[in-house]
Amino acid sequence: MKFSYDLIKKFLPLIKNKAQIIEALTMRAFEAEDASGNTFEVNLPPNRYSDASSHWGIVKELTAIFDWLVDYGSMKKLPVVDFVKNKSTARKKKSLNIKVWDQKLCPRYTACYLEGISIKDSPKWLQDILKDCGLRPINNVVDVMNYVMLEMGQPLHAFDVDKLEGGKLIIRRAKKREEMATIDGVKYSLTPEILVIADAKKPVAIAGIKGGRGPEVSKTTKRIIIEAANFDSVSIYKTSKILGLVTDASVRFSRLLSEELAILGLGRSAYLLEDLFGAKIIDYFDSRKKLLPKHILKFDINKFNKFIGVDLKREEAAVYLRRLGFKNILKDEWEAPILRTDIENHEDVIEEVARLQGFDDLKSRAPRVNLVPALEDDLIILKEKARNALVSLGADEVYNHSFVSRKDLDLMSVKIGDVIELENPISREFQYLRSSLKSGLIVNFGHNSKFFNDFKIFEIGKVFNRNGKRIQEYNSLGILFASKNKETFFALKGVMSSFLKSLGVVDFIFAPENSSKLAPFKEGSVLKLEVDGSINGYLGKFAGVSKGWHVSILELDFDKLLKSIEGEAEYRPLSKYPAVMRDLSIFVKKSIQIGDVMQEIELSNEKLINDADLVDEYFDSKQGDKQSLTFRIVFQVEDRTLTNEEVDREMDKIISLLKRKFSAQIR
Amino acid sequence: MDLEQIKKSAINAINNASTAQDLESVNVKYLGRKGVLTGVLHSLKDLSIEDRRKIGSKANALKQKLEELINKKSNSFRELSNKISFGFDVTKPGLKIFSGHLHPLSKIDAEVRKIFLSMNFSVVDGPEIENEYYNFDALNIPANHPARDMWDTFWLKSKNNPFRQLADSGQKSKLLLRTHTSPVQIRYMEKHNPPFQIIVPGRVFRYEATDMSHEFNFYQVEGLMVGSDVSLANFKFVVEEFCRKLFGSKVQFRFRPGYFPFVEPGLEVDIKLEGGGWLEVMGAGMVQRNVFDAVRYNPDEVQGFAFGMGLDRLAMIKYKIPDIRLFYNGDLRFIRQF
């Protein structure tokens, strides 16, 4: 919100410069910053509009901060017509006909009837202040309405009495299918949720938001009604959203203004019209018959000290409260200033004292902490472990957006019904919540392939999908290995095995996945990762890459992995007896899968065989459809040295097994 | 000893010399001032002219020969020692062993967690899809209140699907992407009793256009400490400790009033590093009584503070990163700097 430095200075000549105001407000009240020319900007919190969204309000705040004694009651620099005190003098004629039909949405409606209006330009000083604050001068009546809003914070509206049907105003809800054009000519369809100001026939203003076309002040206007009302903040907020219409007035009214502000604004605007332009006050109206209740709160200095962590004396706190306009009623009882709609409970009062004293000056104190050891969620620990493990295995970590496009989903062959769509996406590029990390990693591959020939990337992040009515959100781990001219599939497979072992996952296997539809993978180049006997993810070669590139991707359900982690590694005695290594070279048909052969070897005698590895493979057209494989088999037992004869016997068994199962030929 | 014997034993000695020192002693023995061959040459003056010529020329030839051999051997020793000190060129570059790089946000996240763990704060996680109740209502941000406008929200599409969830209040609550990590405060307090102190790192979402300092997804760290006497002065202590550990002991602070509906008093914290200006890093305050009411704590018996800060922003300040968008584009030229 913009403020005119000149106007503040007029009220508060002690002020030295803008910087002084900005520093004081920022450190003791709310954020303020310099703006161009004669103005500064205040970032007013929504709960301070009632008392501080005006030059007068800022002046009060500054006097409290600087402890400059200003008598709040008298408002010497802001003379008003005091309708409440001088009821008889103000009401010369009964000429106002105003009915409030909906008191809930309009807790207070005040109005003043003036004659002898002559429309002209307002004086330059007034126009300048409007301009400084971003408003356009229009004519003297409208300008006074706007000026008083800036000065006191109450939005006002003026109607041309002669253009009001039946000369009366009714505050009511709009009828079904009622319409109204605002001053700027835009037509709005209204609903019964919306409060309007109507004359005898039709709405003439959307209450608290904008005036209607017709009875607005024009060059020929002679007699006016000034409206200074209070409207239900929630209703104004909703109406403003429904109509998509945000105005100075709607912003203010939706932030809970005090009902008192209405009569103050009315008195001030009447005074200015009379004083500056010779208008005559004929009549006034106020829907509130009783005074507003006083808001009295207790302030407990002990609670304050415990809450803030200081040792302030009761009298010191009292000084701060007085500076803010609080009145001491009884010992610990204080009456809040009438415009402070934000002061509702003890903490509100505590905040006032604490902030005026200054948070910056508050001495920090070490808290007393119970000696319960701090913990981290298992998942957070596992994520960190996984990141560090993957980094040590040579992969770089990336973060991608949580949103994907329809195109990204199509690439994965994901059905729209299985993903979650945003109601208000930023753009179509970011319309859905990602159900996989792959599309992000593939985009990263495309970008980085311009700069690197060989890289490994991974991401750990939330993915989302939906299964009928159930929404699922879980952490996923995606890894992509890319290389120009070099196969990456087995590197990824090997790295993942080391990785899973390093996390403490023991029971896992990679098994061929023959399902043909596992986009974005190349058919026949996919492995499923089974952990504890259930599928946890897939590893495959990415089908859509440019020539020469080998891109392999693995994605797994990270949350599920957590459940498969076996606690601590456990010591096994080191064998005192030597291991015996034997190599075995065979020819088998190309269609035989190496994994099957290895498994057969390993299971042939689990007691004696410690490990089996593929150490060589080749494929030669001279051998027809056969491949040559060399396995290295490690025999070892814990309680004795194996004899050559024993190992020879085992080798014979394996050979005959492989001959039988795979028609293997020994090389 | 005649010349033949000298020749034989000298050549033998030269051949047997295995170090430069050995060779030098051979040199001294035969060719030194008091050396064997030198003695022969000195004794020439006592001989007849004929013998002098005969033996002299032989002795001189031998001297020349031995000098030659010793030189040659000495050179070979020098080469050998050169080889030992220079042939193995230690200045060659080391082998490049490639290790990957953590994302800078993971690095800062780990650092933040470490600092708070050292102050006995536990680390807690929460969901990214939230409902209106946890994200707003329970945090004293009622519907149809302008305070809600402070958080531009991504809503999940609710047309003919059940994107409403039963909130604890028993009311159906619309689903959204959490706009802050604060809902985890509520979730945690519903299940635990004070005293406790926690932090909650995590991804949050805001419906806003991206630019150098805004992203529609980013990271926050939430903090919450509740007990019977946890005060605002305690908050200052914790935050100052944290910032000093993260940014170094020379960091300066500014604590000023701020407004967030779920805290009161509300504060904002600015920091200043050497040579820089004030930077906003944190919103904070004492937990508002309505928030305690929502989790059925008695606000007259417990009190505490909460704070929230942008992890991206901390990383940008710490690593001098000018543009938040760099975090989310996966460019390895960026990632590999950390």
Domain presence at residue A326: yes
Residues of B in contact with A250 (CB under 8 A): none
* Host domain of residue B130: 104-335
A154 closest CA partner among A215, A227, A243:
A227
What does the angle CA B266 – CA B268 – CA B270 come to, to the nearest 5 degrees?
160
What residue of A is the nearest CA neighbor of B258?
A: A30
Task: Evaluate whether residue B99 is within a structural domain.
Answer: no
Residue ranges of chain A whose pLDDT lies below 50 = 72-74
pLDDT at A156: 97
Q: Do A188 and A267 have their domain in common? A: yes
Q: Residues B239, B303: one domain?
A: yes
Pair type for strands B122-123 and B196-205? parallel
Would A624 be classed as within a structural domain? yes
For the domain that residue B114 is a member of, what is the CATH number? 3.30.930.10
The answer to whether position A335 is within a domain reads yes
User: B289 and chain A: CB distance < 8 Å anywhere?
Assistant: yes
Q: B230 and B144 in one domain?
A: yes
Predicted confidence at residue A547, as pLDDT, reads: 81
Q: What is the pLDDT of residue A546?
A: 77
Q: Determine contact: B225 vs chain A, CB below 8 A.
A: yes
Token code pair at residue B220: 């926050």
In this structure, the answer to whether residues A469 and A513 fall within a common structural domain is: yes
Overall average pLDDT of the B6-26 stretch: 85
Is B195 in CB contact (< 8 Å) with chain A? yes
B22 vs A25, more confident: A25
Q: Residue B93 falls within a domain, yes or no?
A: no
Lowest mean pLDDT among A202-206, A630-634, B10-14, B298-302: B10-14
Same domain assignment for residues B38 and B144: no
Strand order in the sheet with A296-298: A296-298, A333-335, A327-328
For A362-397, how does the pLDDT look when each residue is reduced to its tens digit (9 = 90+)? 999 999 887 788 888 888 999 999 999 999 999 999
The H or E element that residue B306 is part of is strand B303-310
Same domain, B25 and B150: no
Q: Which residues of A touch B216 (CB under 8 A)?
A: 401, 403, 426, 430
Of B117, B154, B286, the CB nearest to A422: B154
> What pLDDT does A485 receive?
85
* pLDDT score for B167: 43
A590/A441 same-domain check:
no
**CATH at residue A486:** 3.30.930.10
Evaluate whether residue A71 is within a structural domain: no
Instruction: Determine, for residues A422 and B303 on separate chains, whether the beta-carbon distance falls below 8 Å.
Output: no
Kindly state the helix (H) or strand (E) to which residue B285 belongs, with its residue range: strand B279-287
Q: What is the predicted pLDDT for the residue at B82?
A: 67
- Show the tokens assigned to A653: 């068994």
Residues B135 and B63 in one domain: no
Find the helix or strand (DSSP H, E) in which A501 lies: helix A489-503
The domain total for chain A is 5
Instruction: With respect to residue B51, please indicate whether it lies within any of the assigned structural domains.
Output: yes
Q: Is the pTM of this model over 0.80?
A: yes
In a domain, B94, yes or no: no
DSSP state of A362: P
User: Do B79 and B147 belong together in one domain?
Assistant: no
Q: Are residues A274 and A205 in the same domain?
A: yes
Per-residue pLDDT, averaged over B15-29, amounts to 85
pLDDT of residue B79: 74
The answer to whether residue A570 is domain-embedded is no
Active site residues of B: 151, 180, 206, 220, 263, 306
Contact by Cβ (8 Å): B266, B189 = no
Q: Residue A265 maps to which CATH number? A: 3.50.40.10
Write the CB contacts of A439 (distance below 8 Å, at least 6 apart in sequence): A404, A408, A409, A411, A412
Predicted pLDDT of residue A201: 92
> Which residues, listed in sequence order, are joined to residue A611 by a DSSP beta bridge?
A634
DSSP B13-41: HHHH--SHHHHHHHHHHHHSTT-HHHHHH
Q: Which of B60, B87, B114 is the last residue of a domain?
A: B87
When scoring A209, A399, A483 by the number of chain B Cβ atoms within 10 A, the one with the most, hence best to mutate, is: A399
pLDDT confidence band for B161 (50 / 70 / 90)? very low
Report yes or no: B228 at the A interface, CB cutoff 8 Å.
no
Contacts of residue B251, Cβ cutoff 8 Å, sequence gap at least 6: B243, B244, B271, B272, B273
Same-domain status, B42 and B170:
no
Q: B224 and B110 in one domain?
A: yes
Instruction: Return the pLDDT at A71.
Output: 58
Of B124, B133, B119, B220, whose CA–CA distance to B174 is shortest?
A: B133
Domain of residue A314: give its range.
296-357
In this prediction, residue B159 has a pLDDT band, given cuts at 50, 70 and 90, of low
Specify the long-range contacts of residues A318-324, CB closer than 8 Å, at least 24 apart. A320/A352, A320/A353, A320/A356, A320/A357, A321/A349, A321/A352, A321/A353, A323/A63, A323/A64, A323/A67, A323/A356, A324/A64, A324/A352, A324/A356
- Test A376 with B117 for CB contact under 8 angstroms: yes
Residue B163 shares a structural domain with residue B193: yes
Q: Can you give the pLDDT at residue A569?
A: 67
Is residue B108 in a domain?
Answer: yes
Does some domain include residue A126? yes
A341 and A401 fall within a common domain: no
Distance in angstroms (rounded) separating the CA atoms of residues A128 and A13: 19
Cα separation, A18 vs A420, whole angstroms: 50
Is residue A367 included in any domain, yes or no?
Answer: no
B110, pLDDT greater than 80:
yes
Question: The tokens of A19 are what?
Answer: 């910087």
| Whether residues A96 and A237 fall in one domain | yes
Whole-number average pLDDT of chain B: 89
B17 confidence band (pLDDT: 50, 70, 90): confident
C-alpha–C-alpha distance, residues A350 and B304, integer Å? 14
- Region of A177 on the Ramachandran plot (φ > 0 left; ψ -120 to 50 alpha; else beta): left
* pLDDT of B162 above 50: no
Distances (CA, A) of A147 to A161, A259, B285: 21, 19, 36
